[in-house]
Amino acid sequence: MRHRHVLSALVQNQPGVLAHVSGMLASRGFNIDSLAVGETEQHDRSRMTFVVHGDDQVLDQVRKQLDKIVYVIRVDDISSENFVERDLMLIKVTCSAEKRPELFQLAESFRGRVVDIQHDNIMVEISGTEPKVEAFIELMRPYGILELARTGRIALVRGNPQSKEATA
Protein backbone atom coordinates (compact mmCIF):
# COMPACT_ATOMS: atom_id res chain seq x y z
CA MET A 1 0.00 0.00 0.00
CA ARG A 2 1.29 3.45 -0.92
CA HIS A 3 1.76 5.89 1.95
CA ARG A 4 3.00 9.44 2.34
CA HIS A 5 6.52 9.45 3.74
CA VAL A 6 8.45 12.41 5.10
CA LEU A 7 12.17 11.66 4.91
CA SER A 8 14.80 13.70 6.70
CA ALA A 9 18.37 13.25 5.53
CA LEU A 10 21.38 14.77 7.22
CA VAL A 11 24.08 15.12 4.57
CA GLN A 12 27.49 16.65 4.12
CA ASN A 13 27.22 20.13 2.67
CA GLN A 14 28.91 19.24 -0.64
CA PRO A 15 28.14 19.90 -4.32
CA GLY A 16 26.30 17.03 -6.01
CA VAL A 17 24.67 15.51 -2.94
CA LEU A 18 21.20 16.73 -3.90
CA ALA A 19 21.56 15.30 -7.41
CA HIS A 20 22.78 11.99 -6.03
CA VAL A 21 19.94 11.63 -3.53
CA SER A 22 17.17 12.76 -5.91
CA GLY A 23 18.65 10.51 -8.62
CA MET A 24 18.51 7.55 -6.27
CA LEU A 25 14.82 8.19 -5.56
CA ALA A 26 14.01 8.69 -9.24
CA SER A 27 15.80 5.48 -10.22
CA ARG A 28 13.56 3.60 -7.77
CA GLY A 29 10.42 5.11 -9.30
CA PHE A 30 9.62 7.60 -6.55
CA ASN A 31 8.24 10.97 -7.51
CA ILE A 32 9.38 13.62 -5.05
CA ASP A 33 6.28 15.58 -4.03
CA SER A 34 8.27 18.11 -2.05
CA LEU A 35 11.95 18.82 -1.49
CA ALA A 36 13.72 21.37 0.67
CA VAL A 37 17.44 21.57 1.42
CA GLY A 38 19.24 23.92 3.73
CA GLU A 39 22.30 24.27 5.91
CA THR A 40 21.89 23.11 9.51
CA GLU A 41 23.30 24.55 12.71
CA GLN A 42 26.58 22.96 11.58
CA HIS A 43 27.94 24.71 8.48
CA ASP A 44 29.37 21.51 7.02
CA ARG A 45 25.98 19.72 7.10
CA SER A 46 22.68 20.21 5.33
CA ARG A 47 19.26 18.77 6.02
CA MET A 48 17.20 17.48 3.13
CA THR A 49 13.51 17.04 3.79
CA PHE A 50 11.49 15.33 1.10
CA VAL A 51 7.97 13.99 0.81
CA VAL A 52 7.33 10.91 -1.32
CA HIS A 53 4.48 8.44 -1.72
CA GLY A 54 5.30 4.77 -1.92
CA ASP A 55 5.16 1.27 -0.56
CA ASP A 56 6.65 0.97 2.95
CA GLN A 57 8.93 -1.97 2.09
CA VAL A 58 10.30 -0.42 -1.09
CA LEU A 59 10.86 2.89 0.68
CA ASP A 60 12.77 1.09 3.43
CA GLN A 61 15.08 -0.36 0.76
CA VAL A 62 15.57 3.08 -0.77
CA ARG A 63 16.37 4.53 2.66
CA LYS A 64 18.99 1.82 3.12
CA GLN A 65 20.46 2.60 -0.31
CA LEU A 66 20.62 6.31 0.55
CA ASP A 67 22.44 5.42 3.78
CA LYS A 68 25.20 3.90 1.60
CA ILE A 69 25.90 7.17 -0.24
CA VAL A 70 29.21 8.53 1.05
CA TYR A 71 27.94 12.07 1.66
CA VAL A 72 24.77 10.94 3.46
CA ILE A 73 25.23 10.92 7.23
CA ARG A 74 21.76 9.73 8.24
CA VAL A 75 18.32 9.17 6.67
CA ASP A 76 15.16 8.87 8.75
CA ASP A 77 11.57 8.27 7.71
CA ILE A 78 9.98 10.56 10.28
CA SER A 79 6.43 9.93 9.04
CA SER A 80 5.49 7.92 12.12
CA GLU A 81 7.23 10.31 14.51
CA ASN A 82 5.70 13.29 16.27
CA PHE A 83 7.03 16.05 14.03
CA VAL A 84 6.38 19.63 13.01
CA GLU A 85 6.27 20.44 9.31
CA ARG A 86 5.94 23.75 7.51
CA ASP A 87 5.64 25.09 3.99
CA LEU A 88 6.33 28.69 2.95
CA MET A 89 4.51 30.43 0.12
CA LEU A 90 4.59 33.81 -1.60
CA ILE A 91 1.43 34.57 -3.55
CA LYS A 92 0.74 37.59 -5.74
CA VAL A 93 -2.95 38.42 -6.14
CA THR A 94 -4.82 41.01 -8.18
CA CYS A 95 -6.04 43.65 -5.78
CA SER A 96 -7.72 47.00 -6.30
CA ALA A 97 -7.51 49.65 -3.58
CA GLU A 98 -11.11 48.82 -2.60
CA LYS A 99 -10.29 45.13 -2.02
CA ARG A 100 -7.12 45.73 0.03
CA PRO A 101 -8.79 45.76 3.47
CA GLU A 102 -10.56 42.49 2.64
CA LEU A 103 -7.35 40.80 1.46
CA PHE A 104 -5.34 42.17 4.38
CA GLN A 105 -7.91 40.69 6.76
CA LEU A 106 -7.80 37.30 5.02
CA ALA A 107 -3.99 37.28 5.17
CA GLU A 108 -4.07 38.19 8.85
CA SER A 109 -6.62 35.47 9.65
CA PHE A 110 -4.13 32.95 8.21
CA ARG A 111 -1.28 34.56 10.17
CA GLY A 112 0.18 35.69 6.88
CA ARG A 113 1.60 39.06 6.12
CA VAL A 114 1.50 41.38 3.18
CA VAL A 115 5.07 41.81 1.95
CA ASP A 116 4.50 43.96 -1.14
CA ILE A 117 1.81 46.35 -2.33
CA GLN A 118 1.50 47.62 -5.89
CA HIS A 119 -1.27 49.67 -7.55
CA ASP A 120 -3.10 46.61 -8.83
CA ASN A 121 -1.76 43.67 -6.78
CA ILE A 122 -0.42 42.58 -3.42
CA MET A 123 2.00 39.85 -2.38
CA VAL A 124 1.31 37.78 0.73
CA GLU A 125 3.65 35.48 2.65
CA ILE A 126 2.04 32.46 4.31
CA SER A 127 3.70 29.67 6.25
CA GLY A 128 2.14 26.64 7.82
CA THR A 129 1.01 23.13 7.15
CA GLU A 130 0.26 22.03 3.62
CA PRO A 131 -3.55 22.06 4.21
CA LYS A 132 -3.36 25.63 5.55
CA VAL A 133 -1.38 26.83 2.54
CA GLU A 134 -3.73 25.00 0.16
CA ALA A 135 -6.77 26.55 1.88
CA PHE A 136 -5.31 30.05 1.45
CA ILE A 137 -4.65 29.39 -2.24
CA GLU A 138 -8.28 28.36 -2.74
CA LEU A 139 -9.48 31.54 -1.00
CA MET A 140 -7.28 33.65 -3.29
CA ARG A 141 -8.43 32.07 -6.58
CA PRO A 142 -11.51 34.31 -6.98
CA TYR A 143 -9.32 37.43 -6.62
CA GLY A 144 -7.01 36.29 -9.41
CA ILE A 145 -3.67 34.66 -8.62
CA LEU A 146 -0.95 36.29 -10.71
CA GLU A 147 2.01 34.27 -9.42
CA LEU A 148 2.73 31.76 -6.71
CA ALA A 149 5.97 30.29 -5.34
CA ARG A 150 6.30 27.66 -2.63
CA THR A 151 9.12 26.04 -0.78
CA GLY A 152 9.15 22.36 -0.14
CA ARG A 153 8.15 21.08 3.25
CA ILE A 154 10.61 21.32 6.07
CA ALA A 155 10.21 19.17 9.16
CA LEU A 156 11.81 18.36 12.49
CA VAL A 157 10.89 15.71 15.04
CA ARG A 158 9.54 17.21 18.27
CA GLY A 159 11.48 17.07 21.51
CA ASN A 160 15.13 16.57 22.25
CA PRO A 161 16.97 15.03 19.28
CA GLN A 162 18.69 12.68 21.75
CA SER A 163 21.87 11.37 20.23
CA LYS A 164 20.59 10.51 16.74
CA GLU A 165 22.57 13.29 15.08
CA ALA A 166 25.25 13.56 17.73
CA THR A 167 26.38 10.02 16.95
CA ALA A 168 26.20 10.52 13.21
- pLDDT surpasses 50 at 166: no
Q: Do domains 2-81 and 84-154 have the same CATH topology?
A: yes
Alpha helix (H) residue ranges in 12-147? 17-27, 56-67, 100-109, 130-140
The domain locations on the chain are 2-81, 84-154
Confirm if 92 and 123 have CB atoms less than 8 A apart.
yes
Amino acid at 113: R
What's the alpha-carbon Rg for the chain, to the nearest Å? 19
Domain 84-154: assigned CATH number: 3.30.70.1150
User: Domain 2-81 classified CATH 3.30.2000.20?
Assistant: no
pLDDT in tens, 36-45: 999 999 999 9
pLDDT at 92: 98
pTM, entire model: 0.78
Strand partners, 152: none
- pLDDT surpasses 70 at 7: yes
* Confidence bin at 62 (pLDDT 50/70/90): confident
pLDDT at 103: 96
Which comes out higher in pLDDT, residue 101 or 20? Answer: 101
pLDDT in tens, 105-155: 999 999 999 999 999 999 999 999 999 999 999 999 999 999 999 998 999
pLDDT above 70 covers a percentage of the chain that reads 95
Residues 8 and 154: their CA atoms lie apart, in Å, by 9
pLDDT at 94: 97
